Amino acid sequence: MLGLIAGSFLATLVLRSPRGETIVAGRSACEHCGKRLDVTELVPVASWLWLRGRCRGCGGRIDPLHPIVEGLCALVGAAALAVAPGVAGVAGAFFGWVLVALAALDLRHFWLPDRLILILLLIAVASWWMDIAPSAFDRFLGAAGGYAALTIVAAAYRLVRKRDGLGAGDAKLFGALGAILGWQALPLVLVGACSVGLFFVAARVIGGQEVVATDRLPLGALLAFAAFPAWIIQQ
Ligand SMILES: [Zn+2]
């Protein structure tokens, strides 16, 4: 239930923050006609299904990002508490919810906001403070190692290809994942993320689409998708 509510909040954040709009001020309204949503239209997932993804006022399309993010956050919350009942599960749920928001922003805008990555670091610090595994040493090594690893890859790519291949946000995110999961989990997360990425590229080639070296993949989103299963395995 908390996941649905968190998802509802995060979907609004994902849709509004790239436009420079505030999340806290202003009630939810239709983005086409500005109609304020009443209580029955604010129920996560159910409202969207009930209204068949259309605004009741103007019939305009309601972004399916809303129910997708809400559904994912509900699944993340349920999965986290199922594998780790208690404080560790709550920390895991917050971790997963931030990952959902990061993945959605990276998929839509190739944008990994520093503020969200900072929240991941705060979750890592809070978890360490509450004695949740991994140890402080493993977390520190994960943060430093994760950030350094992708920064070195980015620098090497720039040197060889004379253009940017990795966003700065990717290295920061990988470091934050290391702070939460510990350094031991990072190879698995990276291999998982790259496998999913290569799978999509392969599917594009098989589908007859042209693939060139300058095509962009949202590495941050791929890392986020790989990181939550890695956290589940750890429990
Ligand atoms: Zn409307």
Distance from Cα 79 to the centre of ligand 1, integer Å: 34
Note the helical H segments in 110-185.
114-129, 136-161, 168-181
Distance from Cα 8 to the centre of ligand 1, integer Å: 18
Distance from Cα 69 to the centre of ligand 1, integer Å: 20
Distance from Cα 53 to the centre of ligand 1, integer Å: 11
Distance from Cα 131 to the centre of ligand 1, integer Å: 48
Tell me the average pLDDT across 101-115: 94
> Residue 203 and residue 64: Cα distance in Å, rounded?
24
> Residue 74 and residue 93: Cα distance in Å, rounded?
9
Instruction: Output 50 or 26, whichever has higher pLDDT.
Output: 50
Distance from Cα 54 to the centre of ligand 1, integer Å: 8
Distance from Cα 17 to the centre of ligand 1, integer Å: 20
**Identity of the residue numbered 29:** A
Residue-wise DSSP of 221-234: HHHHHHHHHHHHHH
Distance from Cα 75 to the centre of ligand 1, integer Å: 29
**What is the rounded radius of gyration, in angstroms, for the C-alpha atoms of the chain?**
19
Distance from Cα 51 to the centre of ligand 1, integer Å: 12
Distance from Cα 47 to the centre of ligand 1, integer Å: 14
> Residue 144 and residue 164: Cα distance in Å, rounded?
22
Token pair of 90 as six digits: 């709550």
Q: Structure pTM?
A: 0.93
pLDDT of residue 224: 96
**Closest Cα to residue 144, out of 115, 120, 171?**
171
User: Is 20 within 8 Å of 111 (Cβ atoms)?
Assistant: no
**Closest Cα to residue 166, out of 230, 219, 102, 99?**
219
List the chain domain ranges. Answer: 1-83, 111-235
Tell me the average pLDDT across 107-136: 95
Tell me the average pLDDT across 192-217: 89
Give the other-Cβ count within 10 Å of 22's Cβ. 8
Find the range with the poorest average confidence among 12-16, 62-66, 204-208: 12-16
pLDDT digits (tens, 9 = 90+) for 57-69: 898 988 899 899 9
Distance from Cα 96 to the centre of ligand 1, integer Å: 31
pLDDT digits (tens, 9 = 90+) for 78-106: 999 999 999 999 999 999 999 999 999 99
For 71, residues 6+ apart whose C-beta sits below 8 A from its C-beta are 7, 45
pLDDT digits (tens, 9 = 90+) for 152-187: 999 999 999 998 888 889 999 999 999 999 999 999
Tell me the average pLDDT across 45-74: 90
User: Is 67 within 8 Å of 48 (Cβ atoms)?
Assistant: yes
pLDDT of residue 22: 66
Q: From residue 28, give the alpha-carbon distance in Å to each of 85, 97, 104, 108, 184.
A: 33, 20, 19, 21, 42
213 pLDDT band, cuts 50/70/90, is confident
25 pLDDT band, cuts 50/70/90, is low
Distance from Cα 105 to the centre of ligand 1, integer Å: 24
